[in-house]
Amino acid sequence: MRSRKRQRLWLVSLAVILLGGAAALAVTAFEENIVFFRSPSDIAEGKAEIGRLIRIGGLVEEGSVKRTAGSSEISFSLTDGGASVPVIYNGILPDLFREAQGVVAQGRLQTDGSFLAVEVLAKHDESYMPPEVAEALKKSGYWQENNAEEGMKGHTK
Amino acid sequence: MIAEIGHFALIAAFVLAAVQMSFPLYGAHRGDIGLMDLAKTTALAQFALVLLSFAALVNAFVTSDFSVLNVIQNSHSDKPLLYKISGAWGNHEGSLLLWVLILTLFGAMVASFGRNLPPQLRARTLAIQGMIAFGFIAFMLFTSNPFERVLVPPANGQGLNPLLQDPGLAFHPPFLYFGYVGLSISFSFAVAALIEGKVDAAWARWVRPWTLAAWCGLSVGIGLGSWWAYYELGWGGFWFWDPVENASFIPWLFATALLHSAIVVEKRDALKSWTILLAILAFSMSLLGTFLVRSGVLTSVHAFATDPERGVFILLLLVIAIGGSLTLFAIRAPSLQPGGLFRPISREGGLLLNNLFLSVAALTVLLGTLYPLFLDVLEAGKVSVGPPYFNATFGPLMVPILAAMVVGPLLSWKRGDILSALSTLWFAGTVALAAIAITLIYSGVDGILPAIGVGAAAWIIIGSCMELAERVKLFQSSAADTWRRLRQTPRSVYGMTIAHLGVGVLLAGVIGTTAFKTESVQNMKIGQSVAVSNYTFTLDNVVSLQGPNYVAERAVFVITEGDSLIASVNAERRRYPVEQDMTTEAGIHTTWLADLYAVIGEGSRSAGWTTRLYKNPLTPWIWFGTIIMAIGGLVSLSDRRLRIGAPSNSRKKAVSSRPIPAGAQ
């Protein structure tokens, strides 16, 4: 039965090497690619690194959405009540992007304090509030009862 | 009244499930044929009852019965008939009923086709199926009743999420669930085998067709979902590593591994406990996926319910099913008879390599999917894990398996000769290396992974054909001899070749779309043109139009290449007044080699519209590849040796150690 032991030995070593390699791969990938969520207040307090891919969430400030004529560039401000961050985005906004609506933007903080978004996410439901945004609003004390209700309703569809 | 019949039928099915999970199990223990045969009756009756219940729900949707809460919340009398029907499963309660319907369908199929199964094994398998049905019907009856009535019916319903009003998505859940739930059969067989303490070649041959059928359904379901995301979300991509996509992909990876390891059990009587473990894991991941999607812990379009009570209930089901089966595995697996020996370089070795890499890849996807949840629970911050993580881990893990999948089938069992296998494939290897070199030099794409992907696609497509050519001695023997060999080659071998070819085609599509796409975002006024790669998109006109339950703004793009007209495509933005929602419909012209893809955003005649234009090379190959893979699975399924209920033929006797009872029917 020596050969059975040998077979088991190489099977186990192969599995261990593979798992180890995959774990190393996953850890490096996590270090480089995890996207942290920051609120506008975090950014105002200088908690977010410049130039790294992050997500910010908040309400689209009313009256802040500006389109440049003849260009696909859009700027708007995201607020959590405490602070607000100017966001620049070049592209098609999600269908449910509206003022005073909670959205999440993924992109990089620029040295001038603005946020260059590569992706803007608004969930496909009117009453939906991204949980990250709801939490950021709660933290900054901007959370209102009607928001709370809507947040609770979540995705009913 | 009809809704009450549906509700009552569900309760009756629940009672039958309770009978099915207990008496036959006891009967199998005692060797009581009568009690064991009870499972067959209950499985068939249960399916009939759940079918009746499902029909009652569909009826409520089709007739727009607004006294049923579920119909109010998810339907509207203006909706086209197809979406009234698909609305029945486009919600939490209805999708669970579909889940249970397919579960009982599989149970009924085992009961009626499994005539050549030993009665004990069949009784135990059906009993385990009964347990799963019991858990899920209980979940529906106690937390998610689709037949709940309201006292005062409103005049009309709230409509269905417009994103779900799409032909691709109407059929996505049935296929996906067919795959998800089909894996329950492999699971039940595995648990039944653990109870018996016996796994042999015959067992593997009974499990394989079920896994194969589930795998085909899962492949088509995932493909449909991906296709829908591609044309409906308007992001130009086909896969976003969204938690919900991952929830279906992880079971697929385990199911693929299971398909391959079951071959080793069937042919060589080896890797038995590993195969059992894979069967348990594949279905566990289906359950986990159901939990992730249904509990609302991960937010997405699919998270219908965010009710904590439901989440806890599914979590409980999950713990019992996974915990119970793994405990049983830990107790029983060591007592399974060890199987045949083999060397690292052999057919078994190749299949094992496939298994290890697929499982480890599935684990890294699982880790990336659950990681944000872990951090959230530990209050370590909110994070998201996006495509870069998955590309950086999943991509490299796929390289060895893609390279080996062509060589493996050329190795012989027990001890293979890798040099002879490689020398057979010299042509495929040369083309692959040339493809890698050409991509690196001319494409200007960053990184070596896309080049390796191009090479791997060429390697798999050519290599799979060469493997079949070698098997039938094409050009090495007389035409008559080759023809004879072609006819004698079992269907399962053709199935393998076709499915592997599909992987190559799919891979080419994935690499083409991700690494070589051209994207252009800009503002366009009517009459303006934009060049995208070698094509020119001209915004010809934007018109308003009225759909059955929406109003749309339709942009007409004329696509030209040089002086010749290629096509005209329509991109739409639809507004659904009932649901107060917008959707995007991409305008796509597909050639065999590329998709020309246009999306329109907000805008007006004076300010122009934001448009996003793409040339997506080889994207159609993603869907072709998926279809080819599923066809491969079906061809293999039609193999005489695997055909459900086919009488045993002479080829079985060499590998089967268990007598196949002839008197079971």
pLDDT tens per residue across span A19-28: 898 888 888 8
| Alpha helix (H) residue ranges in chain A | 2-33, 40-44, 131-139, 145-153
Tokens for B617, please give them: 């090379």
**Residue B645 — pLDDT band, cuts 50, 70, 90?**
very low
Residue A143: is its pLDDT beyond 70? no
Q: Could you tell me if A60 and A101 are in contact, meaning their C-beta atoms sit under 8 angstroms apart? A: yes
Same domain, yes or no, for B204 and B328?
A: yes
Q: What is the pLDDT of residue B48?
A: 97
Specify whether B148 is located in the same domain as B172.
no
Nearest to B582 among A29, A96, A135 (CB): A96
**B498 pLDDT above the threshold of 50:** yes
Work out the percent of chain A whose per-residue pLDDT is above 70: 76
Residues B361 and B469 in one domain: no
Does residue B133 sit in the same domain as residue B265?
no
Q: Which residue, B248, B227, B188, is CA-closest to B24?
A: B188
Mean pLDDT of chain B: 87
B52 lies in some domain: yes
pLDDT at B156: 85
- CB contact under 8 Å between B364 and A18, yes or no, is no
Judged by DSSP in three states, B416 sits in coil
Contacts of A123 in chain B (CB under 8 A): 299, 301
Q: Which of A7, A19, A130 sits opposite B341 (nearest CB)?
A: A7
SS3 category, B542: strand
Chain CA centroid to CA B524, Å: 39
Residue B50 CA to residue B15 CA, distance in Å, equals: 12
Total of domains in chain A: 2
- Which of A2, A10, A13, A34 should be substituted to probe chain B, the one whose Cβ sees the most B Cβ atoms within 10 Å? A34
Are B330 and B181 in the same domain?
yes
B660 part of a folded domain: no
Please write the tens of the pLDDT for every residue from B5-49. Answer: 999 999 999 999 999 999 999 998 888 888 988 999 999 999 999
Q: Which residues of A touch B610 (CB under 8 A)?
A: 72, 91-92
CB spacing of A95 vs B360 below 8 angstroms: no
- pLDDT: is B645 or A59 the higher one? A59
- Say whether both A81 and A58 belong to one domain: yes
Q: Are residues A26 and A41 in the same domain?
A: no
| Structural domain contains residue B380 | no
Same domain, A70 and A121: yes
Binning pLDDT at 50, 70 and 90, where does residue B134 land? Answer: very high
Closest C-alpha to B449, from B398, B509, B404, B408: B398
Indicate whether A28 and A41 sit together in one domain.
Answer: no
Average confidence (pLDDT) over B97-105: 95
* Whether B187 and B65 share a structural domain: no
pLDDT band at A119 (very low <50, low <70, confident <90, very high): confident
Residue A129 in this model has a pLDDT that exceeds 50: yes
Q: Based on the fold, state whether residues A9 and A28 are members of the same structural domain.
A: yes
CB pairs under 8 A between A and B: 135
Convert the pLDDT of each residue in B560-608 to its tens digit.
Answer: 998 899 999 999 999 888 877 788 889 999 988 999 999 998 888 888 8
Q: Indicate whether B428 belongs to any domain.
A: yes
Q: Between chains, do A155 and B306 touch, taking CB under 8 Å as contact?
A: yes
| Residue among A106, A132, A155 whose CB faces B382 most closely | A132
| Residue that wins the pLDDT comparison between A151 and B299 | B299
Pair B68, B133 in one domain: yes
In-domain check, residue B27: yes
Inter-residue contact B609 to A123 (CB < 8 Å): no
Q: How far is A151 from chain B (nearest CA, A)?
A: 10
Q: Which of B74, B364, B599 sits opposite A26 (nearest CB)?
A: B364
- The pLDDT score that the predictor gives to residue B646 is 43
Residues in B closer than 8 angstroms to A126, CB to CB, are: 580-581
Residue of B nearest to A120 (CA): B235
Nearest CA in chain B to A133: B382
A119-128, B273-282, B351-360, B427-436: least confidently modelled range: A119-128
* pLDDT at site A136: 67
Q: For residue B515, what are the contacts with CB-CB under 8 A and spacing of at least 6?
A: B443, B445, B450, B453
B576–A contact, CB cutoff 8 A: no
Whether A76 and A142 map to the same domain: the answer is yes
Distance from CA of A83 to the nearest CA of B (A): 19
The strands making up B594-604's β-sheet, listed across from edge to edge, are B518-524, B608-617, B594-604, B587-590
B479 exposed, middle or buried (CB, 10 Å; 0-12, 13-18, 19+)? exposed
CB contact under 8 A, A34 and B367: no
| Cβ of residue B273 closer than 8 Å to a chain A Cβ | no
Q: Are B200 and B656 in contact (CB under 8 A)?
A: yes
Considering the domain architecture, whether residues A25 and A58 belong to the same structural domain is answered as no
Residue B183, Cα to own-chain centre: how many angstroms? 11
Could you say which of B514, B532, B566 is where a domain stops?
B514
Chain A residues closer than 8 Å to B304 by CB: 155-157
CA distance B247 to B241: 10
Q: Are residues B522 and B461 in the same domain?
A: no
Same structural domain, A56 and A121: yes
A145 and A127 in a common domain:
yes
Q: Do A69 and A135 share a domain, yes or no?
A: yes
Which of the four pLDDT bands, split at 50, 70 and 90, describes residue A144?
low
Per-residue pLDDT reduced to its tens digit, B365-378 = 999 988 888 887 77
Confidence category of residue B388, pLDDT binned at 50, 70, 90: confident
B448 with B592, same domain: the answer is no
State the pLDDT confidence band at B479, using cuts at 50, 70 and 90. confident
Together in a domain, B95 and B235:
no
Assess contact for B628 and B498: CB atoms under 8 A.
yes
pLDDT at residue B307 in the model: 62
Which domain does A20 fall in, by range?
A: 1-33
Range among B234-243, B445-454, B583-592 rated most confident:
B583-592
Under 8 Å between Cβ of B658 and B202: yes
**Are residues A96 and A68 both part of a single domain?**
yes
Give B136-165 pLDDT, tens digit per residue: 999 999 988 999 888 888 888 888 878 778
pLDDT mean over A61-87: 86
- Asked if B363 has any chain A CB less than 8 Å from its own CB, the reply is yes
Q: A25 to chain B nearest CA, in Å?
A: 6
What are the tens digits of pLDDT across the range B394-406? Answer: 989 999 999 999 9
Query: Is position B654 within any domain?
Result: no
For position B162, what pLDDT does the model report?
Answer: 80
Instruction: Tell me, yes or no, whether B623 lies in a domain.
Output: no
Higher pLDDT, B312 or A144: B312
Predicted confidence band at B299 (pLDDT cuts at 50, 70, 90)?
Answer: low
**What is the Cα–Cα distance from B658 to B665, expressed in whole angstroms?**
18
* Chain B 38-67, residues with CB within 8 Å of chain A CB atoms: none
Could you tell me which residues come within 8 angstroms of residue B106 by beta carbon, excluding any fewer than 6 positions away?
B129, B181, B182, B184, B185, B210
Query: Does B211 lie in the same domain as B156?
Result: no
pLDDT given at position B537? 95
From the list B364, B386, B392, which residue is nearest A35 (CB)?
Answer: B386
B488: containing domain: 394-514
pLDDT tens figures, B521-541: 999 999 999 999 899 999 999
Residue type (1 letter), B235: W
How far is B430 from chain A, CA to nearest CA, in Å? 28
Which range (A80-89, B281-290, B309-318) has the least confidence?
A: B309-318
- pLDDT of residue B497 exceeding 60, the answer is yes
Q: Is the pLDDT of residue B92 over 80?
A: yes
Q: Do A3 and B341 touch (CB under 8 A)?
A: yes
The reported pLDDT for the residue numbered A142 is 62
**In B516-640, which residue ranges form alpha helices assigned H by DSSP?**
619-637
Based on the fold, state whether residues B297 and B180 are members of the same structural domain: yes
Q: Which of residues 200-239 of B touch A (CB under 8 A)?
A: 234
**Residue B253 lies inside a defined structural domain of this protein:** yes
Closest CA to B352 of A18, A20, A2: A18
Residue A2 and residue A60 share a domain: no
Find the CB nearest A124 among B301, B382, B608. Answer: B301
Domain end among B349, B367, B385: B367
pLDDT higher at B297 or B220: B220
The alpha-carbon gap from B353 to the nearest alpha carbon of chain A, in Å, equals 9
Cβ-in-10-Å burial (0-12, 13-18, 19+) of B560 comes to: middle
Residues in chain B closer than 8 A to A10 (CB atoms): 344
Domain boundary residue, one of B149, B164, B179? B164
Can you give the pTM of this predicted structure? 0.90
- Taking contacts as CB-CB distances below 8 angstroms, the residues of chain A near B73 are 156-157
Question: Considering chain A, what is the average pLDDT of its residues?
Answer: 77
d(CA B485, CA B490): 10
Give pLDDT, residue B184. 95
Chain B residues with CB under 8 Å of A108 CB are none
| More confidently predicted of B265 and B643 | B265
Mean pLDDT, residues A31-35 taken together: 83
Find chain B residues with C-beta within 8 A of A132's C-beta: 382
pLDDT at position B626: 96
- Residue A33: its chain B contacts at CB < 8 A? 385-386, 388-389, 392
Question: Which residue from A minimizes the CA distance to B392?
Answer: A29
What's the pLDDT band for B648 if we cut at 50, 70, 90? Answer: very low
Question: How far out from the chain centre does Cα B334 lie?
Answer: 32
pLDDT tens digits along B111-121: 988 778 888 99
Chain B residue numbers with beta carbons less than 8 Å from the beta carbon of A124 are 161, 163, 301, 581
Contact of B324 with chain A, judged by CB distance below 8 Å, is answered with no
| Residues 6 or more apart in contact with residue B524 via CB below 8 angstroms | B530, B539, B608, B609, B610, B611
Residue B659 scores a pLDDT above 70: no
CATH code at A48? Answer: 2.40.50.140
pLDDT at B487: 86
- B69: domain CATH number is 1.20.120
Q: Which two tokens stand for residue B379?
A: 């209050």
Instruction: Among B161, B367, B601, select the one facing A26 at the smallest CB separation.
Output: B367
Where residue B55 falls among pLDDT bands split at 50, 70, 90?
very high
Contact A7 B342 (CB under 8 A): yes
The total domain count for chain B is 4
